[in-house]
Amino acid sequence: MVTVEKALELYGAPVYVRKEIVHNRHVVETLAGKGAVFVEENEEVPPGSVVVFSAHGVAPEVHDQAAERGLKAIDATCPLVTKVHQEARRFAREDYDILLIGHEGHEEVIGTSGEAPAHIQLVDGPDSVDAVTIRDPEKVVWLSQTTLSVDETMETVDRLKKRLPMLQNPPSDDICYATQNRQQVVKDIAADCDVMLVVGSKNSSNSVRLVEVAVQHGARSGHLIDFAHEIEDAWLAGAASVGLSSGASVPDNLVQDVLAHLAERGFTSVEEFEPVTEKLTFSLPRELVKDLKNAEKAKAAAAK
């Protein structure tokens, strides 16, 4: 999100963004209002323009297409997704079969698969395990989309390992730390919640998973909302407690709006659960950092 904002400040509008920068309606609408133009493919971007690749990552061919059109590409791929891409390339070089656990059609899965299409096979949940085919049962590894349900992913892995006892784990955990932390808290509080509200968009995989996890772990009902005004009073009827969480890319002001909405309806006592303090921060894309530094140098020189 900051990458697009900084790009708009530096290059001026329009800045094109391939796909939604993150899967959040409010973020996309806000950036569009500032001059970002969201497109599906590079072909929609005028030659010579600035294009930002979304946090979900892209296949190598997308970079090649941008270069062919003379686009200035800024890669805003989440570093956690980049790590999975690097793992895919490494295991492909070593001629492994790679079982990518994820949802068919998700942009992250498409991008990761594009790193090694001849070696990667999608496994879309436990029910897809029986269809897996491999060349060498001693050279097979699993990787995953970063925004999955931890429990469902491990269920898929367990079923895979029953078929493939030599299946190797990824070098490090692939599922996003923010996704895992939120799922764990929702598990911990779900049984004490009559209603669970999750702030997030319908196309946000990690937000959708939070609703599923809440209901699976004891919440009477769960609802996904983009904004506070979408909450229906009927959901709250008879409820003594309401749980609230949000997707990993949801701005905090949207969560505060929901708290205010609930307070107006009598839910004034708030208990916060934060077992893990998230301190990890990521740098801006190096292409953007370089241009920002050059702009600062030019500005300083002009001021002399």
Residue ranges covered by each domain of the chain: 1-77, 80-163, 180-264
Tell me if 1-77 shares its fold with 180-264.
no
Mean pLDDT of 236-257: 96
- What local confidence, expressed as pLDDT, does residue 207 receive? 97
Sign, Cα dihedral of 297, 298, 301, 302 = negative
- Rounded to 5°, angle at Cα 28 from 27 and 33: 100
- Is the pLDDT at 122 greater than 80, yes or no? yes
pTM (two decimals): 0.92
- What local confidence, expressed as pLDDT, does residue 303 receive? 79
- Is the pLDDT at 275 greater than 90, yes or no? no
CA pair distance 210, 186, nearest whole angstrom? 7
CA pair distance 49, 15, nearest whole angstrom? 7
Question: Which H/E stretch holds residue 224?
Answer: strand 221-225
What stretches of the chain show up as alpha helix (H) in DSSP? 2-11, 25-34, 60-68, 79-93, 107-113, 150-163, 177-190, 205-216, 233-236, 252-263, 286-303
Mean pLDDT of 161-171: 96
CA pair distance 13, 172, nearest whole angstrom? 39
Burial class, 278, CB count within 10 angstroms (exposed 0-12 / middle 13-18 / buried 19+): exposed
* CA distance between the termini of the chain: 33
- Is the pLDDT at 279 greater than 90, yes or no? no
Contact yes or no for 205/106 (Cβ under 8 A): yes
Mean pLDDT of 122-145: 97
- Residue 180's pLDDT band (cuts 50, 70, 90): very high
Mean pLDDT of 223-245: 97
- Is the pLDDT at 54 greater than 80, yes or no? yes
The CATH code that applies to domain 180-264 is 3.40.1010.20
- What local confidence, expressed as pLDDT, does residue 101 receive? 98
- Residue 302's pLDDT band (cuts 50, 70, 90): confident
- What local confidence, expressed as pLDDT, does residue 173 receive? 86
- What local confidence, expressed as pLDDT, does residue 172 receive? 87
Mean pLDDT of 43-51: 98
- Is the pLDDT at 278 greater than 80, yes or no? no
Question: Which range is least confidently modeled, 33-42, 82-91, 277-286?
Answer: 277-286
- Is the pLDDT at 256 greater than 80, yes or no? yes
> Closest Cα partner for 257 from 228, 232, 237?
228
Task: Catalogue the active-site residues.
Answer: 108
- What local confidence, expressed as pLDDT, does residue 240 receive? 96
The CATH code that applies to domain 1-77 is 3.40.50.11270
Alpha carbon separation from 217 to 155, 178, 185, 272 (Å, rounded): 16, 19, 11, 19
- What local confidence, expressed as pLDDT, does residue 274 receive? 81
Mean pLDDT of 135-160: 96
Taking domain 80-163, whether its CATH number is 3.40.50.2300 is answered by: no
3-state DSSP percent of the chain in helix, strand and coil, to 5: 45, 15, 40
Q: CB-based contacts of 263: which residues, under 8 Å, 6+ apart? A: none
Q: Specify binding-site residues.
A: 23, 56, 106, 146, 204-206, 249
Mean pLDDT of 175-189: 93
Higher pLDDT, 82 or 282: 82
How many C-beta atoms lie closer than 10 Å to residue 169's C-beta? 12
- Is the pLDDT at 304 greater than 90, yes or no? no
Q: Specify binding-site residues for isopentenyl diphosphate.
A: 23, 56, 106, 204-206, 249
Q: DSSP class of residue 247?
A: -
- Is the pLDDT at 257 greater than 90, yes or no? yes
- Is the pLDDT at 277 greater than 90, yes or no? no
Q: CB-based contacts of 118: which residues, under 8 Å, 6+ apart? A: 92
